[in-house]
């Protein structure tokens, strides 16, 4: 049983490269289908968010794909060179993979420490792997354990009791740094997904009243606007909406910039020099970064949140030891169970051998004592089974105990030799 991980985050992958490496839901499904065809019998889960792209691979019997093969596969899927990704993507194996996933699910590896959105993204990645038929028992147990770990961190520490996320930091630290109040500002929300909805909630709490939602799929803009008390706008009138806005929050999943310099120039001519704050929370970016050089424009990308998030991390760092202790405990438990499962074939052969010997001896005994009734035979059979179970208990208990600290290769080899258990 082996596990492998290749991936990078906002800490290691520059934004411009992260934009090119990111997978949309459709691209992720296509990548998983290609993985299934190229590595049959192996399990794979692809986690792609605005701050990370990580591929988890697993195999219970066959060798898991090598980390270099996974890296090359990711590069191929996104049309990138391996030499571009090799310096910035981390490679992990076995218990390091488990510990990392548990930390990610609990929000310990996020830009905003303890942010809850990543847990939903982990669940979505696992669901997509199930739909794409690249999930399996090993990744299933690992991702279920990750969700359990995240729940423990949320309930047993204060790390997540104050709801903090990228949208909240964007509104409270960046937009509020330019505008003293929001009740007199016109807000434009570009995109209608979960991050857009969360951002709109924070804007409402901050006092925003005049909010317009535009989305390429008009129905989703209408639904979100109706649900959260905003006004739906038309995507084909985006230049006019930009001209009227004071604050823009963009969260689409578009593969290319939604607002180009040409489109922004149309809006700029009608703005009359009014200041504009743009929170571009999308990866790839929705706004051409050159727009940041225009007069009166404050354009912040996802990476610009880093300083505010670092400050947030410092305020919450006191909860980290307890959270990491939970991650370590759950990792130790999971790997112990995994190592113990690897002993199953030897245990089955050991039990089968004892059972076969016992049945042979019982048959010989019953032939010599034909006068025994069914009740006596049943009692003798149960005594044999109890005796065999008691004799087997010490080696099996030793296997279980040794599995808690690592793969019990030495003990397994010894049992194979002692009891002549051929593979």
User: What does each C-alpha distance from 34 to 28, 78, 246, 251 come to in angstroms?
Assistant: 10, 12, 44, 28
Tokens 């969360």: give the residue.
Answer: 198
169 and 308 Cβ atoms separated by less than 8 Å: yes
CB 292 within 8 A of CB 299: yes
* Max intra-chain CA distance, the chain: 109
Q: Which residues are catalytic?
A: 50
- Tokens for 173, please give them: 């630290």
């Amino acid at each position: 049983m082996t596990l492998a991980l290749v991936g990078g985050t906002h800490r290691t992958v520059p934004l411009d490269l992260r934009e090119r490496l990111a997978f949309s839901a459709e691209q992720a499904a296509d990548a998983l289908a290609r993985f299934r065809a190229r590595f049959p019998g192996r399990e794979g889960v692809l986690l792609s968010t605005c701050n990370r792209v990580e591929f988890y691979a697993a195999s219970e019997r066959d060798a898991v794909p090598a980390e270099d093969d996974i890296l090359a596969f990711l590069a191929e899927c996104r049309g990138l060179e391996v030499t571009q990704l090799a310096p910035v993507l981390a490679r992990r194996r076995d218990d390091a993979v488990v510990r990392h996933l548990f930390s990610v699910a609990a929000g310990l590896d996020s830009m905003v420490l303890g942010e809850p959105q990543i847990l939903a993204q982990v669940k979505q990645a696992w669901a997509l792997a199930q739909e794409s038929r690249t999930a399996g028992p090993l990744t299933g147990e690992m991702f279920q354990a990750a969700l359990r770990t995240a729940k423990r961190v949320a309930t047993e520490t204060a790390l997540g009791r104050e709801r903090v996320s990228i949208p909240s930091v964007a509104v409270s630290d960046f937009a509020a740094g330019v505008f003293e109040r929001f009740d007199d500002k016109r807000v434009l929300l570009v995109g209608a997904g979960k991050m857009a909805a969360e951002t709109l909630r924070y804007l409402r709490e901050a006092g925003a009243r005049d909010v317009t939602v535009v989305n390429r799929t008009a129905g989703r803009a209408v639904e979100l606007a109706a649900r959260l008390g905003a006004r739906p706008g038309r995507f084909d009138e985006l230049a006019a909406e930009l001209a009227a806005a004071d604050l823009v929050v963009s969260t689409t999943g578009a593969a290319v910039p939604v607002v180009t310099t040409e489109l922004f120039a149309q809006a700029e001519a009608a703005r009359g020099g009014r200041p504009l704050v743009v929170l571009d929370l999308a990866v790839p970016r929705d706004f051409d970064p050159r727009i940041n050089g225009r007069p009166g424009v404050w354009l912040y990308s996802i990476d610009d949140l880093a300083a505010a998030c670092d400050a947030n991390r410092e305020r919450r760092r006191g909860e980290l030891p307890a959270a990491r202790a939970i991650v370590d405990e759950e990792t130790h438990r999971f790997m112990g169970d995994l190592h113990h499962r690897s002993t199953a074939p030897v245990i089955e052969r050991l039990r089968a051998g004892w059972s076969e010997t016992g049945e042979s001896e019982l048959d010989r005994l019953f032939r010599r004592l034909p006068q025994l009734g069914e009740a006596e035979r049943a009692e003798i059979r149960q005594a044999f089974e109890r005796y065999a179970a008691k004799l087997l208990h010490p080696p099996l208990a030793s296997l279980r105990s040794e599995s808690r600290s690592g793969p019990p290769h030495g003990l397994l080899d010894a049992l194979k030799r002692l009891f002549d258990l051929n593979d």
